[in-house]
A and B are shown apart, each in its own frame.
Chain A
Amino acid sequence: MTGPLHGCRVLDLGIITAGAATSALLADLGAEVIKVESSTYRDPFRIWSSRDPNDAAGGMPPYFRATNRNKVGISIDLKKDEGREVFLRLAGQSDIVVENFRRGVLDRLKLGYPVLESAKPGIILASISSQGETGPDAGYVSYGTTLEAVAGLAWRTGYAGDEPVVSGRDLNYPDQVAAIFAAGMIVTAWRSRLETGTGSHLDLSQRELTSFLSGEAFADPDEETPRQGNAQPPHHYLQECFRAADGVWVAVTVDGDQVASLDRAVPGTGAPEARLRTWVAGRSAQQGADDLTAAGIAAAVVLDGTGMMAHAGNLWSTAMLRLDEGALVKGFPFQLDAMPLRIVRDAPKAGADTAEVLARVGGYSEAEIADFAGRGVIEIA
């Protein structure tokens, strides 16, 4: 059984996380995703995460591999007229283009939606940007953490009564959720295209998505307390992290109907939170979490990236997967029973599939491809 997007071809101009991970999800769902780079412009993930000097010469850095598996890779110089023509010929045989350039770049390349639509009526262009295509801040540049600030999330995150806190460059939370949402909108647009033949230009503002995921704060701005630490009244009676005897933290959530259970598990006088703090401090984190969950209370050891891997195949299954050669890469945030998401190939080296794609999809001859390569219009790895 092929994936639900089988038969759909994507030209992927997406880079780093927000763009490249969006296209990766489309590939996981069965689309043919062609990652487009150039000899002068590589996905920064090819360099950012490199700890191996060989990676700068076109190797396979782990962050790039994790985010671009399941794609083929081509290299075209879009700043050259002939390179642009090659891209448009490929677009004429494609269904979707994904990009997260700075605003204005696609138009400067003369590859805006009207041009793509002329090349392929019904094409879908997904423009994933910081602030959206329009408005006074359209040119504002950002990373995920910038968006937490300007979208209202940082204002809500932090220790009670203290300054705002952001997720930081190791998580860059808004970039991660953007990929799931953008993929969802593209898939919806693809379904519309199949039903109506009509394409669309999707203007996806990461700032708006980050605000959307705080939607209730806009509905009740006067009731919203800026920062509450880990507590979440009125949804939970008590919620906090407590440090155990081994120095490891335990996360605990107690609901209103569990107070009696907490009193039995953690007896004594005084406020429940203070009692729990003393009780957890008297045992190892794992013992504390085990005893509390045995009493029916939600509790877990606070794990780092190494710790979370220990539960693979037990508590979680698809989020991170290994390629055949053993490399750990991003998996899937959901799975389908009948048409499962799959990883079928490693990430491409830059330009690895240029010749094959130009011949198969673009219909170029071997001589034309060799000529393009000789003049720097394309790059063949």
Chain B
Amino acid sequence: MIRSGSDRPGNRPLDGIRIVEAHSPDAPLDLRLAGALAGRIAADLGAAVSFSGPPPSRRDGLFAFLNAGKRWIPALRPDRSAADVAIVDDRLFAQGGLAKADVTAVLSTFAAGAPAMPASAFTVMALGGLLDIVGDPEREPLRLGGHQMAYAAGLAAYTGIAAALCGRGKRTSAEVVRVNMLDTAIWLNWKSAPVAGAGEPPPTRSGRAAEWQVLRCADGYVVLVYQEGDWAALKSLVGDPRLEAAHLETRPGRLMHLREIAAIIEAAFMRHTRAEIRARALEKRLPLGPIWSPRELDRDEQTLARAFLCRMDEGMTLPRLPVLWSGRAFPPGAIPAVAIEAEALS
């Protein structure tokens, strides 16, 4: 665990770049989250990032994660604010955005020109096939935990901004980076599109009938993940002679008996902890996935060895940017004291 917040090294890749995040008053939450994630990445890499708007009601984990290393400004003059990059929602962009920015990342729910309709990240995931593919076929389609849709759009926004900054000097006009959540959703879910031909049935959620599924073990859960080439090593790890049966010798045969396989392996896993299964998987080079909670990852050996989690001055724990740059980490900056600044202004 390393401390962060008040102690940040200089000379970072985006030093000297000024970024402003601004949104229309009625911008959907998920577009704000997407823009904030893009800004957080840029801030960690050295950009001077400001965000505007009313102070949040509380400085919770979401606020801390997305705004570490940024500066809060209560009000913004779009016509006067000098920034290299503006991150805005499509409604603010339609009103003129930030006039002086060389690069403007415009976040929207749907592609430009789409008919206006109420939507959320959840309904975008529905339209993009991301709900249909997760969960149990007998139950509701299921979203991935947290704010994955907004954050994936935020990653796309950051990459678009970085590319646009590379294009400086090669273009004669300001650059606009277009990011919408539905295009991002479908880009993520490309294997559901009929790339193999229109006649192929698209994948859907298969729950307990899936080849890769969640199994119980002595102290929690482990995801059974393996490819055809892993079968011998998996049999060896499990050590149950029933897996040697002739009807399980080939993958087509195994696909017809997935529940049987899962039951055999789960019975073996129930005699072992996640840590024991992790050690055996590492030894046999099997891609099994012991399921850890964020709290448990705080003490995880790999997390500790790579100093991935940073203890902030405020006592919170935040992940650093998930890249080491020639061995160098970019820990998050200080969590802005918005509430205090807001009180001082009133």
Q: Identify the A interface with B (CB < 8 A).
A: 1-6, 25, 29, 49, 51, 62-63, 65-66, 131-137, 139-143, 145-159, 163-171, 173, 176-177, 180-181, 183-185, 187-192, 194, 200-205, 207-209, 211-224, 226-230, 232, 235-236, 239-241, 243, 249-253, 293, 296-309, 311, 314-320, 327-339
Contact = CB atoms under 8 A, between A and B. Distances in A.
B323 A204 contact: yes
Given A165-B134, A241-B131, A319 B186 contact: yes
A315 B297 contact: no
Contacts of A335: 160, 177-178
A214 B206 CA distance: 25
B118 A305 contact: no
B336 interface: no
Given A136-B301, A315-B114, 18 more contacts: A5-B163, A153-B145, A163-B216, A168-B205, A170-B203, A181-B158, A189-B13, A191-B166, A202-B325, A216-B62, A221-B293, A239-B120, A253-B123, A302-B141, A304-B203, A308-B129, A316-B183, A334-B156
18 contacts: A137-B282, A149-B291, A154-B221, A156-B145, A157-B134, A170-B203, A171-B189, A207-B302, A213-B146, A216-B146, A218-B318, A241-B140, A250-B126, A293-B118, A298-B118, A305-B189, A332-B183, A333-B179
A168 B297 contact: no
A88 B179 CA distance: 37
B123 A315 contact: no
Interface residues of B, number: 136
A187 B242 CA distance: 51
B123 A300 contact: yes
A156 B74 CA distance: 34
Contact of B162 (A142, A184, A212, A315): A184
A156 B307 CA distance: 23
Interface string B136-174: 100111111111100110011111101111110011011
Nearest to B179: A334
A314 B186 CA distance: 13
Interface in B208-223: 210-214, 216, 221-223
B134 A212 contact: no
B308 A211 contact: yes
Interface in B265-323: 278, 281-282, 285-295, 297-298, 301-303, 305-306, 308-309, 316-319, 321-323
Contacts of A327: 195
B142 A337 contact: no
Given A137-B282, A152-B297, A142 B127 contact: no
B53 interface: no
A333 B156 contact: yes
Tell me which of B189, B193, B323 has the highest count of chain A C-beta atoms within 10 A of its own C-beta.
B323
Contacts of B344: none
B223 A166 contact: yes
Nearest to B230: A141
Given A154-B223, A211-B319, A215-B319, A319 B183 contact: yes
B162 A316 contact: no
Contact of A338 (B127, B128, B173, B225): B173
Given A4-B167, A149-B222, A212 B142 contact: no
Given A154-B214, A184-B155, A298-B123, A66 B195 contact: yes
Contacts of A143: 212, 225, 227, 287
Contacts, number: 479
A166 B28 CA distance: 27
B194 interface: yes
Contact of A200 (B60, B146, B167, B326): B326
Contacts of A211: 294, 297, 303, 308, 319, 322
A281 B300 CA distance: 46
B127 A163 contact: no
Contacts of A243: 140
Contacts of B41: 184
Contact of B176 (A1, A136, A304, A337): A337
B327 A214 contact: no
A293 B287 contact: no
B98 interface: no
Contacts of A223: 60-61
Given A149-B289, A300-B123, A168 B214 contact: no
A146 B288 contact: yes
B61 A216 contact: yes
A311 B127 contact: yes
B319 A208 contact: yes
Contacts of B5: none
B196 A49 contact: yes
B231 interface: no
Nearest to A339: B167
Contacts of A62: 195-197
A298 B146 CA distance: 19
B13 A191 contact: yes
A215 B312 CA distance: 13
B291 A305 contact: no
Nearest to B33: A235
B55 interface: no
B225 A155 contact: no
Given A29-B163, A184-B41, A135 B189 contact: no
B339 interface: no
A300 B196 contact: no
Interface centre among B134, B160, B190 (most CB of A within 10 A): B190
Residue from A62, A219, A318 having most chain B Cβ neighbours under 10 A? A219
B51 interface: no
Contacts of A49: 196
B210 A168 contact: yes
A309 B319 contact: no
B175 A316 contact: no
